[in-house]
Amino acid sequence: MRPTGQPQALSPRAALLFVNGFRALLLLVLFLMSLLSGSDGQSLIAGGPRFYLWSVVYLALVAGWFLLRDGRLGHTLQLTLAIAADIAMMVLLMAMNDGLHGGFGLLLLPYLATAGLLSSGRYALFYAAIATLTLFGYAGVEYQMGAARSSDLFYSALLAMACFMTAIATWQLGRMARASEALAARRGGEIANLNHLNELILQSQRDAVVVLDEGGHLRQFNLQAERYFSRLQRGQLLPELLPLVQRWRENGYPALSTFVEHSVRGRQLVGRLVPVPVPDGELRGVVLFMRDMADMAEEAKRIKLAALGRLTANIAHEIRNPLAAISHAGDLLAEDEADPARQRLLRIMLDNSRRINGLVEDVLTLGRRDRVKRESIELAPFLVQLLEHFTMAQPEAAGAIHCESPAGCRLLFDRGHLTQVLGNLLANAWRHGSRRPGSVRLQAGVAEDCLILRVIDDGPGVAEADQSRLFEPFFTTDSAGSGLGLYIARELAEANDARLDYSPPGGVFRLIGHLAYD
């Protein structure tokens, strides 16, 4: 994973704002000094009206740089022009105040230092060269005018050397500062990525994960932990887990993970307590991996049932082949109509073979319930086609089943599963109803974001004592039934994120599924 943080250089606007602020501050200090007098009664800044003219010009330059800091000129060009103007103005100020001997030449150094920090090495040396040429140019003018002193050349060389040394030193400091800034940005990006990766790993854990410090304060947690502890916030004290941390401290901060069992708000939690080591070897916190024993028992039950389902499907598949051979042999024997007793026995054999075959088909269907391919089903034409197929298998049901479905409704469901669920419910309703016209009704309606299908018959309904066992496997009130129909129907409904239930009184079964949107 690549670091997301990138080195951020000082922006041109911020750099120029910093330089202009320094210029304005220096101008203010010089102006205040011009208002003060020394012990000899002379102003600390010589020049009189010339100094005030110089101040106005410099103030105009500072204001101009403030106006141009929005990027109309390139950063390097603007900085170069500004530093060159500063050097010229400082040399003029130096000329008004006893030249090279007045000490005002030292004001060149802060500007060169600032330029060295804000520019690359060659530009820093270029600015120092401009200052040096300006100083020697001023010394030459003084010499031509006959106002030069014997030590002016020495002072010029000394100040020029100071300019170069300042530029080089500040350039090196600036380069190290930028390198440190870039390194800090890279390290910050890496740390941010590691924190993000740590959070992803933490949230992907199926267990509830809680990180506590030595005092029992919460440092990190995942969403699973919020199931057991409400309103978690980093830094808060978890009194429910404080006994575990205290026991860990009392045992001498063991470095090995330990098994823990703890009750929290009526939940029996089990898991591991893992100490968190730091580089110096000191242990400063623990990570708790916890799961509810009820959830573990439920998961074990699901795994066991899944394994049992696979075993049952395999057994059913193995039964199917010899059963088909028995049925085929019975069909061949049935062609002999000479002996009525034999015909009766053959009918019993064939009926039971078909019943066992139906049971095998139900078990195999149950084993395929996870192969879901949900699609958007337009309900009205689907129900018409379903009733056509049902009346082909049950001709006497033609005209006895009434269907009510609003136009345009679409259901998100596996088409094959929906056919089997509704076919099973219709068969039950037809079996237990009066079989008169309108005795079975198939109704569809919309409630909020759900589509509700009701299969209603006019039969007596399910006895109250049997309602709790209605969807259990192999439970039936009909001697001819296998007891798997409603169980399989509910399993197929749940596989499609739907719900099948019985709504007393009377014979009313409801299939509640999700609406499909185009």
Spacing of C-alpha 348 from chain mean position:
64
With cut-offs at 50, 70 and 90, classify the pLDDT of residue 382: very high
With cut-offs at 50, 70 and 90, classify the pLDDT of residue 4: very low
User: Angle 379-393/415-432 helices, nearest 10 degrees?
Assistant: 50
Amino acid at 305: L
With cut-offs at 50, 70 and 90, classify the pLDDT of residue 2: very low
Q: Say yes or no to pLDDT of 24 above 70.
A: yes
Please list the alpha-helical segments (H only) found in 335-447.
340-367, 379-393, 415-432
| Between 158 and 48, the higher pLDDT residue | 158
Q: How far is CA 437 from CA 138, 401, 449, in A?
A: 119, 7, 33
Which pLDDT score is estimated for 276?
78
Q: How far is CA 306 from CA 268, 300, 366, 493, 496, in A?
A: 25, 10, 11, 17, 18
Distance of alpha carbon 80 from alpha carbon 127, whole angstroms? 8
- CATH class of the domain at 297-367: mainly alpha
Which pLDDT score is estimated for 169?
84
Which pLDDT score is estimated for 1?
38
Distance of alpha carbon 497 from alpha carbon 489, whole angstroms? 13
Q: Which long-range contacts (CB under 8 A, 24 or more apart) does 379-384 make?
A: 379/405, 379/409, 379/410, 379/411, 379/444, 379/451, 380/405, 380/406, 380/407, 380/408, 380/409, 382/415, 382/418, 383/422, 383/442, 383/444
Task: Tell me the pLDDT tens digit for each residue of 507-516.
Answer: 789 999 988 8
Q: How many helices (H) and strands (E) does the chain have?
A: 12, 12
Whose tokens are 């300006």? That residue is: 134
To the nearest whole percent, how much of the chain has pLDDT over 90?
3
Q: What is the mean pLDDT of residues 425-445?
A: 87
Distance of alpha carbon 212 from alpha carbon 221, whole angstroms? 9
Please list the alpha-helical segments (H only) found in 251-378.
293-334, 340-367
Smallest CA-to-CA distance from 362 within 491, 467, 244, 207 is with 491
- In the chain, domain spans: 12-182, 205-294, 297-367, 374-514
Distance of alpha carbon 284 from alpha carbon 387, whole angstroms? 70
With cut-offs at 50, 70 and 90, classify the pLDDT of residue 449: confident
With cut-offs at 50, 70 and 90, classify the pLDDT of residue 40: low
Contacts of residue 55, Cβ cutoff 8 Å, sequence gap at least 6: 27, 30, 31, 34
With cut-offs at 50, 70 and 90, classify the pLDDT of residue 70: low
**Per CATH, the architecture of 205-294 is what?**
2-Layer Sandwich (3.30)
Q: What is the mean pLDDT of residues 133-160?
A: 76
Whose tokens are 């049902």? That residue is: 390
Task: Tell me the pLDDT tens digit for each residue of 396-414.
Answer: 888 888 998 888 888 999 8
Q: Say yes or no to pLDDT of 7 above 50.
A: no
Which of the listed ranges 133-137, 224-228, 436-440, 464-468 does the model predict with the highest average pLDDT? 436-440
Q: Which of 27-41, 79-93, 246-260, 324-338 has the lowest mean pLDDT?
A: 324-338
- Residue 248 phi/psi, 5° resolution? -65, -40
Which pLDDT score is estimated for 47?
65
Task: Tell me the pLDDT tens digit for each residue of 190-208.
Answer: 888 888 888 888 888 888 8
Smallest CA-to-CA distance from 12 within 144, 149, 118 is with 118
Q: Say yes or no to pLDDT of 14 above 80.
A: no
Task: Tell me the pLDDT tens digit for each residue of 336-350.
Answer: 666 676 667 677 777
* Tokens encoding 229: 């502890």
Q: What is the mean pLDDT of residues 87-106?
A: 77
Task: Tell me the pLDDT tens digit for each residue of 353-370.
Answer: 776 776 666 666 666 666
Task: Tell me the pLDDT tens digit for each residue of 461-503.
Answer: 888 777 778 887 777 766 555 667 788 888 888 888 889 988 8
* CA terminus-to-terminus distance, the chain: 38
- Protein fold of 374-514: Heat Shock Protein 90 (3.30.565)
Q: Say yes or no to pLDDT of 212 above 80.
A: yes
Distance of alpha carbon 117 from alpha carbon 68, whole angstroms? 20
**DSSP 8-class letter at 107:** G
Distance of alpha carbon 101 from alpha carbon 255, whole angstroms? 72
Q: Say yes or no to pLDDT of 518 above 80.
A: no
Please list the alpha-helical segments (H only) found in 42-151.
49-67, 75-96, 108-118, 121-144
The mean of the pLDDT values for the chain is 78
Radius of gyration of the chain (CA): 46
Q: What is the mean pLDDT of residues 2-27?
A: 62
3-state DSSP assignment of residue 100? helix
To the nearest whole percent, how much of the chain has pLDDT over 70?
77
Amino acid at 159: L
Which pLDDT score is estimated for 368?
61
Task: Tell me the pLDDT tens digit for each residue of 267-319.
Answer: 778 888 888 766 555 557 888 888 888 777 777 777 776 776 676 666 666 67
Whose tokens are 């000129």? That residue is: 73
Q: Which of 98-107, 328-337, 462-471 has the lowest mean pLDDT?
A: 328-337
Q: What is the mean pLDDT of residues 375-399?
A: 89
Which pLDDT score is estimated for 511?
92
Q: Do the beta carbons of residue 105 and residue 96 sit within 8 Å?
A: no
Contacts of residue 410, Cβ cutoff 8 Å, sequence gap at least 6: 376, 377, 378, 379, 515, 516, 517, 518
Q: What is the mean pLDDT of residues 235-261?
A: 79
Q: Say yes or no to pLDDT of 328 above 60.
A: yes
Distance of alpha carbon 76 from alpha carbon 123, whole angstroms? 9
